[in-house]
Chain A
Amino acid sequence: MQCEILLPVPTSNSSDVIVVGAGMVGAACAYYAARAGLSVTVVDRGAVAGGTTGAGEGNLLVSDKEPGPELELALLSARLWQELTASLPPQIEYEAKGGLVVASDAAGMEALRDFATGQHKAGVMAEEIPCDRLGDLEPHLAPTLAGGFHYPQDAQVQPALAAAHLLRASGARIRLGEEVTHLLTQADGDLTGVRTATGTLHAPQVVNAAGAWGGELARRAGLDLPVLPRRGFVLVTEPLPRMVRHKVYAADYVADVASGSAALQTSAVVEGTAAGPVLIGASRERVGFDRTLSAEVLRRLAAQATTLFPVLAGVRAIRTYAGFRPYLPDHLPAIGRDPRMPGLLHACGHEGAGIGLAPATGLLIAQLLTGQQPAVDVGPFSPGRFTSVS
């Protein structure tokens, strides 16, 4: 056996921290934890980016967030994404394309103006674009719109590739196709690791980055975390030349995101990709983990997209995919230690913003894992906020 181990290395099933979930958030937790000096094992019952990460559009948005803790997280993430882009390969398709939010009438424009004014105080750049200048930014936009706001800080990545490359860069041990069935605790309640279908992995700290399935993982630890799946469809066109320059969306998207209703909501979100196809979203409905294709949702997405970009009526939609956003009732992620089981940290529930918010989430989790002061106040993201504390 050729073996020149100079440093003591952990045995293959023991590490400082186990991250459950090989999506974007899990990859970011693994990356920042490893950078903080921890040995990391990432375990996922499926493939890298096999859940919500692989079913999104890769949006890194500040434009849709009102001032508050989520926007603070998004602004930190926007900076971190710029750093990551410098060290990750170009295949992650990071593009600082900017966002363009458009309104169909004067009332919608006034609402956008109010929203942007509040965001501006929180550090978001936004420029009002009168209707006669919309065509300069997006030549194919319908000429009847009232105007819009341009958000230069919005960006995009190819989410599955970004997660995969970040995970590779982390150097973490990766165990795929291995489902966590139990969290293991000592008699005194201290966490000691996880049991999977094929064995036992040891670590004093476990990060729940299971996304829409984060509530199920918490249940396997005997804990309640009210993560619910919020389904969305994306309609994909045939490959096209660059004909949509920004992430373009209608003003009512922000209200849809903030809604707590389980009923179907759709609003037009249109963006090009480096590979050519235009992606058309966005729908939201809470129907459990039901993947059944909904022709009604696709019809609405297509109709709303062609209202914004009439030219899309003449191109083909070639496929569609659905995913489940990890929804928490107050639309904020759960980031931090579970007060009921301190070795367990949650990093899930980012709803439709997980790709954008992943780096800041990973950084905060790494700081909590190593006992450092978190870069932003994690109080609003406390996983304990859903349980009545006696």
Chain B
Amino acid sequence: MARTPGELVGARPGTPFEITVDGRTVTAMPGQSIAAALWGAGILAWRTTRNTGRPRGAFCGIGQCYDCLATVNGEPNRRACLLPARPGDAITTQEGHGHAGLGV
């Protein structure tokens, strides 16, 4: 059986809860970042780049590279690797800068 980080440190996590990604339900653990919860569900990309629309997800995982930006509860450009998941969070794939509505 694969050893998980939680098993290695003898963690006793609290009750899992649900978040949604583009409407799909994903289970997250208390204290888990949104990026970790998405990776746990096998989701690797949740943003497309501004100029060429390429897929992006977590890269550095420590808040430095800004690759993992996501729209969370309607607010674009949140760093999914730093933001703890909360019950009921709605993550949506962010297209480009996520502010298309402001263009003139």
Binding site for B on A (CB under 8 A): 138-140, 238-243, 245, 276, 311, 315-316
Contacting residues, chain B, for A239 (C-beta < 8 A): 50, 97
Residue of A nearest to B76 (CB): A238
Within 8 A of A (CB), among B83-104: 97, 99-100, 102-104
Find A139's partner among B97, B100, B104 (CB 8 Å cutoff): B104
Given A238-B77, A316-B77, decide whether A243 and B102 contact each other with a Cβ distance below 8 A: yes
Contacting residues, chain A, for B102 (C-beta < 8 A): 140, 240-241, 243, 311, 315
Those 10 A-B pairs whose CB atoms lie nearest each other, nearest first? A241-B103, A139-B104, A239-B97, A243-B102, A240-B99, A243-B104, A238-B77, A241-B102, A240-B97, A240-B102
Contacting residues, chain A, for B104 (C-beta < 8 A): 138-140, 241-243, 245
Contact with A along B50-91 (1 / 0, CB 8 A): 100000000000000000000000000100000000000000
- A238 adjacent to B97 (CB under 8 Å): yes
- Give 15 A-B contacts (CB < 8 Å), ordered by A residue: A139-B104, A238-B99, A239-B97, A240-B97, A240-B99, A241-B97, A241-B99, A241-B100, A241-B102, A241-B103, A241-B104, A242-B104, A243-B103, A276-B50, A315-B99
Among B50, B102, B103, find the residue whose CB has the most chain A CB atoms closer than 10 A.
B102
Contacting residues, chain A, for B50 (C-beta < 8 A): 239, 276
Report the contact-size class of chain B (Cβ under 8 Å from the partner).
under 10
**Bound-state Cα–Cα, A138 to B100, Å:** 17
Contacting residues, chain B, for A243 (C-beta < 8 A): 99, 102-104
Q: State how many angstroms separate the Cβ of A92 from the closest Cβ of chain B.
A: 18
**Bound-state Cα–Cα, A315 to B101, Å:** 12
Q: State how many angstroms separate the Cβ of A377 from the closest Cβ of chain B.
A: 43
Contacting residues, chain A, for B77 (C-beta < 8 A): 238, 316
Residue of B nearest to A278 (CB): B102
Contact with A along B5-30 (1 / 0, CB 8 A): 00000000000000000000000000
Contacting residues, chain A, for B100 (C-beta < 8 A): 241
**Bound-state Cα–Cα, A315 to B102, Å:** 10
- A276 adjacent to B97 (CB under 8 Å): yes
- B103 adjacent to A242 (CB under 8 Å): yes
**Bound-state Cα–Cα, A242 to B50, Å:** 13
Contacting residues, chain B, for A240 (C-beta < 8 A): 97, 99, 102
Contacting residues, chain B, for A242 (C-beta < 8 A): 103-104
Residue of B nearest to A275 (CB): B50
**Bound-state Cα–Cα, A139 to B104, Å:** 7
**Bound-state Cα–Cα, A242 to B96, Å:** 13
Q: State how many angstroms separate the Cβ of A203 from the closest Cβ of chain B.
A: 44
Residue of A nearest to B100 (CB): A241
Contacting residues, chain B, for A238 (C-beta < 8 A): 77, 97, 99
**Bound-state Cα–Cα, A242 to B100, Å:** 9
**Bound-state Cα–Cα, A197 to B63, Å:** 40
Q: State how many angstroms separate the Cβ of B3 from the closest Cβ of chain A.
A: 39
Q: State how many angstroms separate the Cβ of B83 from the closest Cβ of chain A.
A: 14
Contacting residues, chain B, for A241 (C-beta < 8 A): 97, 99-100, 102-104
Q: State how many angstroms separate the Cβ of A152 from the closest Cβ of chain B.
A: 18
Q: State how many angstroms separate the Cβ of A100 from the closest Cβ of chain B.
A: 13
**Bound-state Cα–Cα, A138 to B104, Å:** 8
**Bound-state Cα–Cα, A140 to B99, Å:** 14
Contacting residues, chain A, for B99 (C-beta < 8 A): 238, 240-241, 243, 315
